[in-house]
Amino acid sequence: MENLIEALTAKNKEYVHAVTKQLLLVGKSDEEVKTILNDLLPQIIEAQNTNILARKLLGSPTEFVAQYRPKGTTNQKSTDKNSNDSPVLMWLDSTLLFFGLIYLMTGIMGIVNPKGTQIYGLITSLIMAALAGLVMYMIYKFYYAQTEGKRKWNWKNLLLIVVVIIIWSGFSVFSAMIPRAFNPTFNPYVTMVIAVLVLGAKYLLKRQLHIRSTLAPMSTVRK
């Protein structure tokens, strides 16, 4: 088996290493892992000779090893970091991030230019953050949540994202028309304190609920 492993490309070696680790995690013994790999390696090498990676041939390590999981655990959700992909929580996580950043920048601008007009009030910032969070979740849902190597855009989904972005852009332009009584602004230092509190709340929620980020790199989704 060692000779077969040495014949693998670097990426395929990484794949086999990940599969081995996953098999041990689902309870397979060393001998069982060797038996599985002895059957698997020739297939990978044969595909490798035609420039097909193991991941494309067999799916991600997690997907491949799913067939070897004990019955009753296949659909069990992991409590590992960033495994919670609840749509509401992922949208909330992104919304809090954008709201915190918007308010942080608003506060900084207010301190740097005290005589300037504070553009983004409370309601404006909340709605803009909510729309930005929705866009980020839609990008995740319609693209990154697909199996790596098979990701592609659906024109209907892409159109939905464009519509939300247009609404987001339009709102940012006309938000100045919202009466100040319904869209209050605060002292720049208070604004920055609110931003820090919101970003802190985001961090705590993510840590406690293991929320998957819509900003997660492509390689971290569905591994």
Q: What is the pLDDT of residues 166-197, one digit of tens each?
A: 887 777 777 767 777 888 888 889 999 999 99
Q: Are 68 and 23 in contact (CB under 8 A)?
A: yes
pLDDT for res 222: 41
pLDDT band at 2 (very low <50, low <70, confident <90, very high): low
Q: Which of 216, 222, 212, 217 is nearest to 84 (CA)?
A: 212
Under the banding of pLDDT at 50, 70 and 90, the label for residue 155 is confident
Asked whether residue 76 is domain-assigned, the answer is: no
Residues 100 and 50 placed together within one structural domain of the fold: no
- On whether both 95 and 178 belong to a single domain, the answer is yes
pLDDT tens for 119-151 read: 678 888 888 899 888 888 888 877 766 555 555
- Per-residue buried b or exposed e for 56-70, using 16+ beta carbons within 10 Å of the residue's own CB: ebbbbbeebbeebbe
Strand partners, 211: 84
77 located within any domain: no
State the Cα–Cα distance between residues 45 and 40, nearest whole angstrom. Answer: 9
CA–CA dist 177, 221 (Å, integer):
41
- List pLDDT tens digits, range 55-80: 888 888 888 888 887 765 444 444 44
On whether residue 152 sits in a domain, the answer given is yes
Are 110 and 51 part of one and the same domain?
no
Shared-domain flag, residues 109 and 214: yes
CA diameter of the chain:
74
Residue 131 lies in a domain: yes
This prediction's pTM: 0.57
Distance CA 146, CA 85 (A): 13
> Domain limits at 118?
87-220
pLDDT at residue number 124 = 85
Other CB atoms within a 10 A radius of the CB of residue 124 amount to 21
Task: Identify whether residues 100 and 146 lie together within a single domain.
Answer: yes
Is-contact 104 192, C-beta < 8 A?
yes
**Which pLDDT tens digit goes with each residue over 90-113?**
899 999 999 999 999 988 888 888
Q: Residue 199: pLDDT band by 50, 70, 90 thresholds?
A: very high
Domain count, the chain: 2
Structure tokens at 96: 């809090």
Q: Please check the confidence at residue 163 and state whether its pLDDT lies above 90.
A: no
Q: Is the pLDDT reported for residue 217 higher than 70?
A: no
Alpha helix (H) residue ranges in 54-187? 54-58, 61-65, 87-112, 122-139, 155-174
